[in-house]
């Protein structure tokens, strides 16, 4: 497993998963129904690319459309269901951001205060890195998942439970990407630090905070923070190796995502719950309107980044041929998921596929995987959310007919 691989899987997919999706709400009477045939084609292409299972949920204001195809467990052959729980990966960042903004509402945290104020002596140059910079990935801190040995070592000892101190040690042995506030780089390290601040300030664990402040108020009965791994019968996730020409699968569903993902990636959830969460966030149900404004205050994404738009406080704003949408995406060792909503939170689309490639994208199988899953399936699903025509180039990539 290479550094380049997981930069793509955790950084690109968490964001590029939002490519091609549409904008603000359309009156329900104007919304066409979801094109079931096209969604089934999407699912079939995803499965052909390698993941054993694929689920999708689209609430376009007129109907709640769901689709499940494939299996949740290759060993037993159990069919995947739209109600299955799954690892949501970096969608967790929005949960952590919500908890942080609640602390701002409570007067416990200031967005523009230096990290040194809350974690003295922990972060190199912490006096020049603010809480806001952690939230919007402008701190410059190296992401521990970018270390070239991180995932190699995980494969050797997949049950190792990392501490925050271990993750920070890996991150801080690398030079920063840039000086604080002088660029943008997705970094899981930022959210480990936010989790540390939250736990220090409240005296509660992340699982406790998520339950008390998010899942209970919103009624998310099938969502929890893995500590350190899933404790329910989730849809199994698979690391897929393409090097031999035929996909080779490693079941990662019992790996401790709460250990290495933590406040950056530990949430286990369902389609319904994740939809309700992002809807609630964008309607300001969990914090003040002032904090919603702060969350939606974005910095531009780099020109070389594969999508156009910006990143707010734990939230992507994606501008595309179909319009503008808000949300996030997430990748673990065995899942790729996306969650998007219109700005008012009324319309939502959520997807999950139960496979994640191990090799870098030079491999033909992996290229096809990302073409189909990241830039094809997600784009079609979310364009359908708003009844927008799917761009021809997206369909060409999906169908393998691009010139």
Torsion of CA 374, 376, 379, 382, to 10 degrees: -100
Question: How far apart are the C-alpha atoms of 225 and 268, rounded to whole Å?
Answer: 6
Q: Choosing from 25, 76, 90, 337, which is the catalytic residue?
A: 90
Structure token digits, residue 70: 């494939």
Q: Which residues contact 61 (CB under 8 A, 6 or more apart)?
A: 25, 26, 27, 28, 31, 346, 347
| Cα–Cα–Cα angle for 173, 140, 197, rounded to 5 degrees | 80
Question: How far apart are the C-alpha atoms of 403 and 351, rounded to whole Å?
Answer: 27
- Is 90 tagged catalytic? yes
Rounded to 5 degrees, what are φ and ψ at 320? -145, 180
| Cα–Cα–Cα angle for 144, 176, 134, rounded to 5 degrees | 70
Instruction: Give the catalytic positions in this structure.
Output: 90
């Amino acid at each position: 497993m290479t550094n380049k691989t997981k930069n793509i899987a955790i950084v690109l997919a968490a964001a590029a998963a939002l490519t091609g999706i549409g904008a603000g709400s359309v009156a329900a009477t104007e919304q066409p129904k979801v094109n079931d045939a096209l969604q089934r084609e999407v699912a079939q292409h995803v499965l052909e690319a390698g993941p054993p299972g694929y689920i999708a949920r689209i609430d376009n204001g007129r109907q709640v459309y769901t689709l499940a195809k494939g299996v949740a467990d290759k060993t037993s052959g159990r069919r995947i269901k739209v109600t299955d729980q799954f690892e949501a990966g970096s969608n967790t960042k929005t949960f952590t951001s919500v908890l942080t903004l609640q602390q701002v509402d409570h007067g416990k945290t200031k967005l523009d205060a230096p990290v040194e104020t809350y974690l003295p002596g922990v972060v190199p140059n912490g006096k020049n890195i603010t809480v806001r910079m952690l939230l919007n990935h402008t701190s410059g801190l190296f992401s521990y998942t970018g270390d070239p040995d991180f995932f190699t070592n995980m494969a050797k000892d997949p049950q190792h439970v990392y501490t925050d101190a271990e993750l920070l040690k890996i991150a801080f042995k690398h030079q920063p990407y840039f000086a604080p506030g002088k660029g943008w780089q997705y970094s899981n390290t930022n959210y480990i630090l936010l989790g540390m601040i939250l736990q220090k300030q409240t005296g509660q664990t992340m699982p406790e905070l998520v339950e008390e402040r998010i899942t209970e108020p919103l009624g998310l009965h099938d969502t929890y923070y893995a500590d350190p791994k899933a404790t329910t019968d989730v849809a199994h996730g698979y690391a897929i190796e393409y090097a031999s020409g035929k996909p080779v699968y490693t079941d990662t569903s019992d790996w401790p995502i709460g250990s290495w993902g933590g406040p950056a990636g530990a949430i286990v959830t369902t389609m319904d719950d994740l939809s309700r969460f992002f809807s609630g966030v964008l309607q300001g149900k969990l914090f003040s309107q002032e904090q919603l404004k702060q969350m939606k205050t974005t910095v531009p994404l780099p020109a070389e980044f594969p999508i156009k738009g910006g990143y707010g406080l734990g939230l992507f704003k994606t501008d595309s041929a179909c319009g503008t949408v808000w949300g996030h995406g997430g990748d673990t060792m065995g899942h790729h998921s996306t969650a998007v909503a219109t700005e008012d939170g009324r319309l939502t689309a959520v997807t999950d596929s139960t496979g994640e490639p191990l090799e870098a994208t030079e491999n033909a199988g992996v290229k096809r995987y990302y073409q189909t899953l990241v830039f094809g399936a997600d784009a079609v699903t979310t364009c359908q959310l708003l009844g927008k025509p799917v761009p021809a180039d997206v369909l060409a990539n999906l169908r393998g007919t691009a010139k």
